Amino acid sequence: MSAEAPQATLRAGTAEDLEAVVALQLASWRDAYRGLLPDAYLDGALADDLVAKWRGKLIDSPDPRALLLVAESPAGVLSGFFYAAEETPGDASAYLDNLHVRPELRGQGLGEGLMRAAVPMLQARGYSGMHLLVFAENAAAVRFYQRLGGRIAARAVEDLMGHAAETYRIVWPDWRAVAQ
Ligand SMILES: CC(C)(COP(=O)(O)OP(=O)(O)OC[C@H]1O[C@@H](n2cnc3c(N)ncnc32)[C@H](O)[C@@H]1OP(=O)(O)O)[C@@H](O)C(=O)NCCC(=O)NCCS
């Protein structure tokens, strides 16, 4: 993290973080995906969908190779989190499923700090690379990943609740660049 980054402690997340993780992702999606996903979904069913999703990941069927890394303020408030897991069993590349920084703390180095800290932890879990999907319209996030060495490997158009949305598959040909 840069010298200007807000004070944050990084630690492995647990099932006890479920409520805070859901609240942060909800706030993050409502802010970053407004206009991209329907308001009715962002302000409606999304909350329950996220509870169900995180219950599955953290309680009901946790992936033993998954990594939940959380950033906390000195007061113990969740500032951001990183979650990567297997997309298909035995994958050499970790699927970065979620990276979120509290909207009011973005642009201060927390996201980069989470990415850099996560790489050696994923290597320890046997991964040798990382990939993710990002909305093409999420230009700030695309730039963020590219600055950390990610490359657009494929483009696709997906149907999101009746809206056509372009996505990029980002891969790290050499992810050691992230940790440098
Ligand atoms: C993408 C994200 C995780 C990056 O974390 P961060 O702590 O904001 O990023 P850092 O401060 O470490 O790095 C700076 C980069 O953050 C992004 N950024 C900076 N300010 C931002 C803001 N106010 N809003 C969104 N992104 C911002 C930019 O890409 C910036 O790079 P740039 O200076 O070249 O424009 C974070 O902005 C976020 O949670 N965004 C919303 C959720 C999201 O899009 N997640 C990724 C989904 S695939």
**Residue 170 reports pLDDT greater than 50:** yes
CA 164 from chain centre, in angstroms, equals: 22
Encode pLDDT of 41-60 as tens digits. 999 999 999 999 999 999 99
Determine the distance separating the centroid of ligand 1 and the alpha carbon of 140, expressed in angstroms.
6
- Report the nearest-CA residue for atom 7 of ligand 1: 111
Which one has a higher pLDDT value, 86 or 177? 86
- Tell me if 54 sits within 8 A of 22, measured CB to CB: yes
pTM: 0.93
**Residue 2 reports pLDDT greater than 50:** no
Burial grade of 22 (CB within 10 A; 0-12, 13-18, 19 or more):
buried
DSSP conformational letter for 47: H
- Report the nearest-CA residue for atom 27 of ligand 1: 107
Q: Give the start-to-end residue ranges of the domains of the chain.
A: 9-179
- Tell me if 100 sits within 8 A of 28, measured CB to CB: yes
- Report the nearest-CA residue for atom 20 of ligand 1: 107
Confirm or reject: Cβ of 99 under 6 Å from ligand 1: yes
- Report the nearest-CA residue for atom 5 of ligand 1: 111
**Which CATH architecture group holds 9-179?**
3-Layer(aba) Sandwich (3.40)
Confidence label for 5 from pLDDT (cuts 50, 70 and 90): low
The token pair at 6 is 């807000």
Confirm or reject: Cβ of 34 under 6 Å from ligand 1: no
pLDDT given at position 4: 52
Confirm or reject: Cβ of 68 under 6 Å from ligand 1: no
In total, the chain counts a number of residues equal to 180
pLDDT given at position 156: 96
Determine the distance separating the centroid of ligand 1 and the alpha carbon of 60, expressed in angstroms.
31
